[in-house]
Amino acid sequence: MKTIKGPGIFLAQFVGAEKPFNNLKNICEWASNLGYKAVQIPTWEEGLIDLEKASESKTYCDELKGVVNEAGMEISELSTHLQGQLVASHYAYDKMFDAFAPKTLHGNVKGRTEWAINQLKYASNASKHLGLTEMATFSGSLLFHTMYPWPQRPNGLVETGFKELAKRWEPILNHFDKNGVDVCYEIHPGEDLHDGVTFERFLKATNNHSRVKILYDPSHFVLQQMDYLKYIDYYHEYIKMFHVKDAEFNASGKSGVYGGYQDWIDRPGRFRSLGDGQVDFKSIFSKLSQYNFDGWAVLEWECCIKSPDQGAREGSKFINDHIIEVSKKAFDDFASGNTDQKHINDILGL
């Protein structure tokens, strides 16, 4: 068994114009003072990283690492969630997803997709330069609007959708393979990879590509009413990243899993700060340790009630308290004795 690393913190929900959230140096010092040991960097935040420059220059990446290391921290992974979303998106969402791309590409779906693919390749190169072996992203979606089908889905629609999704991702995955970096898809509603079955469909469509991995976030399984512990049993060999995020589902007589188009605070399923929801993190950390997960436990703060400042302050201690220092010895070693094959044969009466 291996000991999980942490605590880490995903910076996406904290970056802003005000100090200490306005640049990499300041935000790393802030996170370090809260007890975090690593930062997960959202690559669309230009105030934290120039992704194209990081793709081209190892020297620049060494400078980035130096800034982070000076604060007593490491870079756990890079994130390309927004760019990954644009690799495949249904036209019904085009107006809203334009916000994820540069203004010069708004209304230009083909150009936006090409930009997103290049961004992912940049992130692959940058990860290699930074000495990282995993990267976080979204799969994008061509099919999610048909998840609860009415009218019924025509035969072959799902198969065609996943075939196209794989076709778009395979060149990207091959680029990551050359750089020795895994692509960890966050299994997330709104993406075509949103549960175990859809992950398996994609894996099969990519011919079991060796770089297809999972970013595990139990909060999304709570909102889907899935067994997030059995998920680890099924897919632990693919889980290479871990977002520590809490959630709750409070059954209602007025709305359900889909939330009735309500604001987050009024939905039966809500994201919460660590310890305020229903996720059994003790069992999660136990299972991940049992299966030799030795990646980073990274806080992703999303809560409809508690402030990000308090969530971050409490999150570091919460994660640290849940990390298991795995045992290097068996608890009953004291009762063991020296043995050899003859002794074993004698015990068995052979």
Three-state secondary structure string covering 288-337: HHHCCCCCEEEECCCCCCCCHHHHHHHHHHHHHHHCCCCCCCCCCHHHCC
Q: Which domains does the chain have, with CATH numbers?
A: 5-348 (3.20.20.150)
Per-residue pLDDT of the chain (350 residues; tens, 9 = 90+): 899 999 999 999 999 999 999 999 999 999 999 999 999 999 999 999 999 999 999 999 999 999 999 999 999 999 999 999 999 999 999 999 999 999 999 999 999 999 999 999 999 999 999 999 999 999 999 999 999 989 999 999 999 999 999 999 999 999 999 999 999 999 999 999 999 999 999 999 999 999 999 999 999 999 999 999 999 999 999 999 999 999 999 999 999 999 999 999 999 999 999 999 999 999 999 999 999 999 999 999 999 999 999 999 999 999 999 999 998 877 777 667 777 898 889 889 98
Question: How far is residue 146's CA from residue 240's CA, in Å, rounded to a whole number?
Answer: 29
What's the whole-model pTM score? Answer: 0.96
Q: Which residues have CB under 8 Å from 292's CB, separation 6+?
A: 1, 2
Report which of 330, 319, 328 is spatially closest to residue 4, judged by C-alpha positions.
Answer: 319
Q: What is residue 343's predicted lDDT score, i.e. its pLDDT?
A: 85
* Predicted local confidence at residue 335, as pLDDT: 67
CB 298 within 8 A of CB 244: yes
Residue 334's pLDDT is: 67
* Residue 145, C-beta contacts closer than 8 angstroms, at least 6 positions apart: 90, 92
Identify whether 151 is preceded by a cis peptide bond (ω within 30 of 0): yes
Contact, 71 vs 38, CB < 8 A?
Answer: no
Using DSSP, state whether 186 is helix, strand or coil: strand
| Whole-number Å distance between alpha carbons of 177 and 183 | 9
* Residues whose CB is less than 8 angstroms from the CB of residue 113 and which lie 6 or more positions away in sequence, other chains included: 86, 87, 88, 168
What pLDDT is attached to residue 249? 98
Q: Which residue has the tokens 């990646």?
A: 295
- At residue 57, the pLDDT reads 98
Q: What is the pLDDT of residue 340?
A: 87
C-alpha to C-alpha distance for 255 and 266, rounded to whole angstroms: 9
> Residue 178: exposed, middle, or buried by beta-carbon count in 10 A (0-12, 13-18, 19+)?
exposed
